[in-house]
Amino acid sequence: MSSRLIDGKAVAAEVDDSLKPRLEALRSRGVNPCLAVVIVGDDPASHVYVRMKGKACEKLGMSHRTHALPESVSEEDVFSLIDELNADKEVHGILCQLPLPPHIDERKVTERIDPRKDVDALHPYNVGHILLGDPLFLPATPAGIMKLLEHTGIGIAGLHAVVLGRSNIVGKPIAAMLMQKGVDATVTVAHSYTRDLPDLTRQADIIIAAVGKPLFVTADMVKKGAVVIDVGTNRIEDTSSEKGYRLVGDVDFEAVKEVASAITPSPGGVGPMTIAMLMNNTVLAAELSLNGTRSL
């Protein structure tokens, strides 16, 4: 068998289209959603991601600001900038591009952002409400994964989902979202200490790979007919490429597509959805600023 491709670019375009009437409604009330991104240092990959977010805002006609700070910036100066953005009524969404330099505490920075502007959904307030099933925002990558699963048309209730990876950005929140009432998957979270991992993944109806290891999930780890979502984006050496490398996911796509019923490519799967759901969160933050949100 050959699996059905889950096209993240196409689904992301549908999300963008769904935002257009909401943006028109906001603009009719004099509001244009604005995303402010704080980036510290000169990490090339981080700057690429920030530019992609800016381009996504421009494509939708939304406003965006990039605050690029030198790696030597003090923690207090980062806090001061976030305080200014929190107080700025024209800024609706704030995110701090990770990773940060070692002398800046990522947790303190995350907790400094007003939860009502925390479009990355990393503030403890938002994380807690995700676990309670009462989210203000959903983190962009897990929300994108849920949209992709919805797009497959499979009924998730009662299925066994194995999440590979337990990060705060992907693994933990997607596990929480999958087990919520109304979704009702049975969820196993695996990690580097998990014993007999291939035996476990072969039991899965859904595999979500977010381990950051190129081509980690092989065909012999996947049950026939499983749905496979590949979150990873990794560089591997490729002397035939002009760049000297190529991008691959955490899943051995060419082999696994012959076993899975549906699979995301990487790149072109989860990545576009992350950007689209970040745009959704920024629009939602602008709507909440007008319509009122629950008190914190």
Single out the catalytic residue among 16, 53, 118, 252. 53
Domains of the chain (ranges; CATH) run 30-114 (3.40.50.10860), 140-271 (3.40.50.720)
Q: Is 59 a catalytic residue?
A: no
Asked if residue 217 lies in contact with residue 228, where contact means CB atoms within 8 angstroms, the answer is yes
Per-residue pLDDT tens listing for the chain (296 residues): 567 999 999 999 999 999 999 999 999 999 999 999 999 999 998 999 999 999 999 999 999 999 999 999 999 999 999 999 999 999 999 999 999 999 999 999 999 999 999 999 999 999 999 999 999 999 999 999 999 999 999 999 999 999 999 999 999 999 999 999 999 999 999 998 999 999 999 999 999 999 999 999 999 999 999 999 999 998 888 778 778 888 899 999 999 999 999 999 999 999 999 999 999 999 999 999 998 665 66
- Name the strands in the sheet holding 206-209, side by side, starting at the edge strand that comes first in the sequence: 4-5, 262-263, 227-230, 206-209, 160-164, 186-190
Distance, CA of 136 to CA of 293 (rounded, Å): 9
Q: Is 120 a catalytic residue?
A: yes
Single out the catalytic residue among 16, 97, 172, 230. 97
Single out the catalytic residue among 16, 118, 120, 252. 120
Note the pLDDT tens digit of each residue in 190-240: 998 999 999 999 999 999 999 999 999 999 999 999 999 999 998 888 778
pTM: 0.94
Q: Over pLDDT 70: what percentage of the chain?
A: 98
Report phi then psi at 106, rounded to 5: -60, -40
